Amino acid sequence: MNAIATHCPYCALQCAQTLTPETSGVSVAGRDFPTNRGGMCQKGWTSASVLRAPDRLTDPLVRGASGELEPTTWEAALDLVALRLREIRAKHGADAVAVFGGGGLTNEKAYQLGKFARIALGTANIDYNGRFCMSSAAAAANRSLGVDRGLPFPLTDLGGAQAILLLGSNVAETMPPSVAHFAGARDAGGLVVVDPRVSATASLTENGGGVHLQPVPGTDLVVLLGLLHVVFAEGLADPAYIADRTSGVDDARRLAAAWWPARVEQVAGVPEERLRATARLLAAASPSQGGSGAYVLTGRGVEQSSQGTATVNAAINLALALGLPGRIGSGYGAITGQGNGQGGREHGQKSDQLPGYRMIDDPAARSHVAAVWGVDPAIIPGKGKPAVELLDSLGRDDGPKALLVHGANIRVSAPNATHVGDRLDALDLLVVCDVVPSETAQRADVVLPVLQWAEEEGTMTSLEGRILRRRKAIDAPTGARSELWVWRELATRLNAPGTWDLDPSDVFDELARASAGGRADYSGLSHARLDTEPDLYWPCPATEGEPHPGTPRLFLDTFPTADGRARFVAVDDRGPADDVRADAPIHLVTGRVLQHYQSGAQTRRVDELVAASPSAFVEVHPVLADRHGIAAGDIVTLTSARGIVSAPARITDKVRPDTVFMPFHWAGDENVNRVTSDATDPVSGMPEFKVCAVTVARAVTPATPEPTGLRRATEVPA
C-alpha cells in the first residue's frame, strides 16, 4: 500500500512521519526532516492508536429526555443545533453564541472557524486554547519585534550556537527530538536552563553542559532584570547594535539598574555569582564579543504567568542588549506548543484577530477580509472576550448562552476548572465537536463526531513558521464528518452569507487571499506548491514572476515596526497574583510529562502511554515530605483558594523544598486545574497556570469524587 508522508498529530515540532495504511489502521514510521531527523517521541510512535480508539465517536449524540447522550442522525443533530442557535440569537443577540477553538486545528479549519463565528454566527465571542498557550509570547513579540512568529529562524540554526538561555521550557520531555539541536551549545558548556525544578532538560546542563538556575517559581522577571543589570553594569552590551537597530533602551536600563544581583538573589534565590557568570557566558557567545552565537528562548514556564508578557519582554530586552535578534546564528524565540499553535493564531480564532494576523479593529483589515468573504465590512463584529473572561461569562445574565467547542477539552485544561465546569453547566446549549468523548464532550448537549489528523488533508504551521502538509492516509470510520462540512451545513441552516468550501485546498486558497498583505502572508502558497516544497516559511507573498522563496529568517535587515527598529519595552516586577503566604505557604508549579499530551483526551486512550504513565502524581521534596509525614506513594492533597486536588506523592529532590510540581494531563480528582489560578496577564489575557499558592497535606480521607450527575435534557425537535 502507499506510504503517506505527513507529520505527527501532536506538538509544534511536527515531526515528519510516514504512515502506511494496513488492514486494521495505519503503521507509523519516523521520516527524515531537518527538525526531527527521523526521530519521534513515544507519543509520535503510538499516534495511530487514537485513530482506532475503542470509544471513537462515530454518531452525532444529543442529550435526550433521559438525560443521557443518545445517538441520532446528522440531519437531526444539525437541525437541533441550528434551531437552538437561532432561538438563542433571537432572544439574547448574536454575541450570546460563543465559540472556543483550538491550536491543534489545521490552518484551513482555524480559518474557517473564525469566518464561521464572524459571519455565520455574527458573534464577537470567539477565542481558543492558544490563549492558554502562546498569547504572552505573541503579545511581547508584537510589542517589541513587530511580529509574532515563535521562532523567527529555522530550528536547525540553534545547532551552531555557543550559548542558549532556555527559560521555563522542558524540551527534553515536551519535544524530545529537538534536543539534538541543543547539543552544540551543550558541548560548549553554554546551555542555561531556568526552571524551579531539575527537569529532564535542566539535567542536560550537568557534567559541564552549562548552568541550571533554579529560581523561586514566578520570579523569572527578576532574574531577567538581574541579567540585564549585569550586562549593562559590566559593559557586556552591544552598543552599536543598540544604536542602529533598537529604540527605548534608556527606560529599560533604568528599571534594570534597580535589580542588582544581591537583590535578585534575595527575591529569586539565584546566587549572585551564578547570575553574573550566566550574563558573562551569554555575552561571550554573542556576536559583538566574537562568540559563535547566542539565543534566548522562552517556554510556558515563564509565559503562563500574570506577568508573562512583561517577562517575555524582559527576555527580548536581554537579547536586544546582547545584539542577538536579526543576526544569523543568534536570536530570540518562543517555543510554540500545539501542533498548529502558530497557524492557529494567525488565521482568526483569536478574539481580536482576522486572518493574516490582521487586527479586527483595523478598518483596512476589516475591508480586506470582508472583500474576500464577500460581505459588508460592517457585519464583521468587533473584539470579543479573551478565553478566561469568556469562560467566566458563560451562562451569566449578560454572557453567552451557547458555546461551540472545536478542539479543546476545557473541563480539564482551563485554569480554575471546577469553576469553568460550573459555567459550562450554566449554558443553555453546549455543542462539542471532537473525535473522542473528552470530559468536555461527555457533559455537552450535542456532540458531533469529526475527522482527525490522518483522515483529512490540510496544512499546519510549525514552531519555525514553516508551513507543512498534513495528508490523509486512512478513511475515517463511517459517521464521522469533516468540520468544514459541519460549518457549511450550519451556515446554510442559518442563512449565512459567504461561501463555505469543503475541499481543504480550496479553503487554503481563500485563506491565502485573506492573508495577502497581512503580517502572516500566505498568498504565495497553495497545497500544490507545499506538496513539492516542504521548506516554505511565512511571509510568502504572491508575486508576478518567480515565486517568493518564503522567509526562513526574519529581521535580517529591519524589524516590521513603524520605525524599523526593535523596541526595548520597559518592564518591572509585580510578583505572582496568588503568591505564597502564611495560610498557603507552598508554590505549586504545573507542567507536562513525556507520555501525555495536554488534557490527555488523546493520550489517555493509548495503552502504551498509559502503561508508561498511568496516573497523576505530585513531586514533593524530601524536606517538605518529612515535615508533613508524607511517604512515597501516599496520597497528598494540594489546597488552594480555588479547590483541592489529590494524587500520589513522588519524593524527589528535583523540586525545591518550597515547591511542589504536578502535571495537568488527568481529569476528575487528579485534575490539577481544580487548584490553579485564573488570574490573567493584563496585556495578553493568559492565565497564570504555572504558579499558585497551596497548602500540602497527607490525605486522611479519600477525596470526594467529581459529581457525575447529568444535567438538563434537550429535546430533539420533531
Supply the minimum distance, in Å, between the C-beta of residue 601 and ligand SF4.
14
Give the binding range for ligand MGD (CB under 6 A) out of 168-176, 354-362, 489-497, 557-565: 168-176
- Identify which of 309, 418, 385 has the alpha carbon closest to the alpha carbon of residue 704: 418
User: Which of 400, 388, 365 is CA-nearest to residue 135?
Assistant: 388
* Amino acid (1-letter code) at residue 512: A
By C-beta, is 326 or 449 nearer to ligand MGD? Answer: 449
Distance, CA of 481 to CA of 504 (rounded, Å): 13
Q: Which stretch binds ligand MGD (CB under 6 A): 151-159, 261-269, 297-305, 313-321?
A: 297-305
Q: Phi and psi for 246 in degrees, rounded to 5?
A: -130, 165
Nearer to ligand SF4 among residue 175 and residue 275 (C-beta): 175
Contact 355, 346 (CB under 8 A): yes
Q: Are 164 and 188 in contact (CB under 8 A)?
A: no
Closer by beta carbon to Mo ion, 177 or else 337: 337
Q: Which DSSP symbol is given to 50? A: G
426 versus 594: smaller Cβ distance to ligand SF4: 594
The answer to whether 666 contacts ligand MGD (rule: CB under 6 A) is no
Residue 194: half-sphere exposure toward Cβ, Cα within 13 Å: 33
Closest approach of Cβ 700 to ligand MGD, in Å? 25
DSSP helix, strand, coil percent of the chain (3-state; round to 5): 35, 20, 45
Using CB positions, name the residue nearest to ligand MGD: 337
Q: Are strands 692-698 and 586-591 parallel, antiparallel or unpaired?
A: antiparallel
Angle at 602 between CA 51 and CA 474, to 5 degrees: 15
Q: How far is the CB of 43 from ligand SF4 (least distance, A)?
A: 4
DSSP secondary structure code for residue 464 in this structure = T
Shortest distance, position 338 Cβ to Mo ion, whole Å? 5
According to DSSP, the residues that pair with 693 across neighbouring strands are: 587
176 binds, among ligand SF4, ligand MGD, Mo ion, none (CB under 5 to 8 A by kind): ligand SF4
- Alpha-carbon span 717 to 80, nearest angstrom: 6
Q: How far is the CB of 408 from ligand SF4 (least distance, A)?
A: 17
Q: Considering the rule CB under 6 A, would residue 169 count as an interface residue with ligand MGD?
A: yes
Indicate the helix (H) or strand (E) that contains 7: strand 4-7
Q: How far is the CB of 546 from ligand MGD (least distance, A)?
A: 35
Write down the least CB distance from residue 8 to ligand MGD, Å: 10
Cβ atoms < 10 Å from Cβ of 583 = 9
Count, residues near ligand MGD per rule CB under 6 A: 65
Side-chain-facing half-sphere of 178: CA atoms under 13 Å: 24
**Grid coordinates representing 217?**
517559581
CA distance 342 to 151: 10
C-alpha dist (Å) from residue 220 to 63, 212, 319: 47, 13, 15
Q: Which does 168 bind (CB under 5 to 8 A by kind): ligand MGD, ligand SF4, Mo ion, none?
A: ligand MGD
Nearest Cα residue to 453 out of 52, 134, 1, 73: 52
Q: Please report, as a single letter, which amino acid is at residue 436.
A: V
325 secondary structure, DSSP code: T
**DSSP, res 477:** P
Q: Which 37-96 residues touch ligand MGD, going by CB under 6 A?
A: none
Helix (H) or strand (E) holding 28: strand 25-30
104 binds, among Mo ion, ligand SF4, ligand MGD, none (CB under 5 to 8 A by kind): ligand MGD
d(CA 27, CA 7): 13
Among 184, 226, 337, 687, binds Mo ion (CB under 5 A): 337
> Which of the residues 178 through 197 are near ligand MGD (CB under 6 A)?
194-197
Among 591, 616, 640, 694, binds ligand MGD (CB under 6 A): 591
Residue 128 or 555: which CB sits closer to ligand MGD? 128
- 129 lies in the site for ligand MGD, by CB under 6 A: yes
Instruction: Specify the residue, 132 or 357, whose C-beta has the smaller distance to ligand SF4.
Output: 132
Which one, 102 or 291, has the nearer CB to ligand MGD? Answer: 102
CA gyration radius for the chain?
24
Helix (H), strand (E) at residue 524: none
Does residue 450 touch ligand MGD according to CB under 6 A?
A: yes
**Considering beta carbons, is residue 181 or 245 the nearer one to ligand MGD?**
181
Q: Residue 697 carries which DSSP code?
A: E
Which residue, 14 or 205, is less far from ligand SF4 as judged by CB?
Answer: 14
Q: Which does 413 bind (CB under 5 to 8 A by kind): ligand MGD, ligand SF4, Mo ion, none?
A: ligand MGD
- Cα–Cα dist 515/530, whole Å: 16
The three cell numbers locating residue 128: 481558543
Name the binder of 664 from ligand SF4, ligand MGD, Mo ion, none, CB < 5-8 A by kind.
Answer: ligand MGD
* 331 contact, one of Mo ion, ligand MGD, ligand SF4, none, CB 5-8 Å limit per kind: none
How many of the other CB atoms lie within 10 Å of CB of 718? Answer: 4
Length of the chain: 718
> Should residue 102 be labelled a site residue for Mo ion when binding is judged by CB under 5 A?
no
Place of cell 472583500: 371
Residue 15 contacts which entry, ligand SF4, Mo ion, ligand MGD, none (Cβ below 5-8 A, type-dependent) = ligand SF4
| Window contacting Mo ion (CB under 5 A); options: 129-137, 253-261, 476-484, 546-554 | 129-137
Which part of the chain contacts ligand MGD (CB under 6 A), choosing from 51-59, 97-105, 362-370, 517-525? Answer: 97-105
Of residues 398-417, which lie at the interface with ligand MGD (CB under 6 A)? Answer: 406-410, 412-413
Which candidate, 129, 88, 574, places its Cα nearest to that of 390?
129
Site membership for ligand MGD, residue 36 (CB under 6 A): no
Compute how many other C-beta atoms are within 10 angstroms of the C-beta atom of residue 149.
27
Residues that bind ligand SF4 (CB under 6 A): 8, 10-11, 13-15, 36, 40-41, 43-44, 175-177
To ligand MGD, the closest distance from the beta carbon of 376 in angstroms equals 30
648, burial (CB in 10 Å: exposed 0-12, middle 13-18, buried 19+): middle
Residue 171 or 588 with smaller CB distance to ligand SF4: 171
Q: Rule CB under 5 A: which of 650-709 touch Mo ion?
A: none
- Closest C-alpha to 669, from 625, 711, 635: 635
Q: Which stretch binds Mo ion (CB under 5 A): 130-138, 273-281, 426-434, 671-679?
A: 130-138
Helix (H, G, I), strand (E, B) or coil at 247: strand
Cell of 407: 478542539
Q: Which does 550 bind (CB under 5 to 8 A by kind): Mo ion, ligand MGD, ligand SF4, none?
A: none
**Residue choice 40, 133, 370, 625 for contact with Mo ion (CB under 5 A):** 133
Span near Mo ion by CB under 5 A; candidates 139-147, 190-198, 333-341, 560-568: 333-341
Q: Which does 494 bind (CB under 5 to 8 A by kind): Mo ion, ligand SF4, ligand MGD, none?
A: none
Residues that bind ligand MGD (CB under 6 A): 11, 102-105, 129, 132-133, 167-171, 173-175, 194-197, 199, 217-218, 220, 299-302, 304, 337-338, 406-410, 412-413, 433-436, 438, 450, 452, 483, 589-592, 594, 596-599, 601-602, 661, 664, 672-673, 676, 689-691
